[in-house]
Amino acid sequence: MPLQSGDDSEGRARFLGDEGQDGVEVDLDEGKARMQAANVHVRDFFNIPNALFHLQTPVSVGATVSFDIRWLGPATHPSAVTKPRGSTGRVFRSPVTMKWSASSASGFSFKSNPSGTTSFFGQLGHVRNGIFAD
C-alpha cells in the first residue's frame, strides 16, 4: 500500500497509510519486513557539504521521494544487543531489496533499476535503548 509522510505529536517523521495506520509491516518471527512510501515531500540540498553548511544559493529545493524496501528473511541467527549500556534486543542480518525514485523542483530525477537493488546486507530486529527503554 503506498504511504504518505506525516509528523507525530513530537515532530518525528512517520509514514501513514490511507487510513492512518503505520506504514511499516514487520514480522520478526519470519524475519521479514517492508516499508513503502510514495511522494514523500523532502528538501534536496544537492550535496552533503551544502546540507551541513548552507554553501549554495538556493540552499535547497522541494523534492519528492518514493521507495519500497523489503527485508526478505534472516540470513544469520539473531545476535544480542547489549551496547550501549542499558540496551537490550536482538538483530539479525537479512538480504534487502530496494526500489527508489526521486525528483526535485530543480529538474533532477532518479529512478533505480525497476527489478530492485539488493543490498550487501541489512539488519532487522527489535532494540530498546535510551529514552525508548523506559
pLDDT of residue 26: 87
Evaluate whether residue 90 is within a structural domain.
no
- Say which residues have a Cβ less than 8 Å from residue 35's Cβ, sequence separation at least 6: 15, 23, 24, 25, 67, 68, 69
pLDDT of residue 116: 64
Evaluate whether residue 128 is within a structural domain.
no
Write out the residue range of the structural domain in which residue 101 sits.
4-73+96-122
CA distance readout (Å), 35 to 4, 5, 48, 80, 107: 11, 12, 25, 24, 26
Report if pTM > 0.75: no
User: Which tens digits make up the pLDDT trace of 70-81?
Assistant: 999 988 899 999
The torsion angles phi and psi of 106, rounded to 5 degrees, stand at -80, -5
Evaluate whether residue 9 is within a structural domain.
yes
Evaluate whether residue 58 is within a structural domain.
yes
Evaluate whether residue 84 is within a structural domain.
no
SS3 97: strand
User: Which tens digits make up the pLDDT trace of 31-67?
Assistant: 899 988 889 999 999 999 999 999 999 999 999 999 8
CA distance 47 to 64: 16
Evaluate whether residue 33 is within a structural domain.
yes
Q: For residue 107, is pLDDT > 80?
A: yes
Evaluate whether residue 87 is within a structural domain.
no
Q: Which of 114, 62, 70 is nearest to 96 (CA)?
A: 70
Q: Where are the alpha helices (DSSP H) in 15-111?
A: 48-53
- The total of structural domains in the chain comes to 1
Evaluate whether residue 38 is within a structural domain.
yes
Q: Which of 22, 41, 122, 128 is nearest to 83 (CA)?
A: 128
CA distance 126 to 7: 22
pLDDT of residue 6: 47
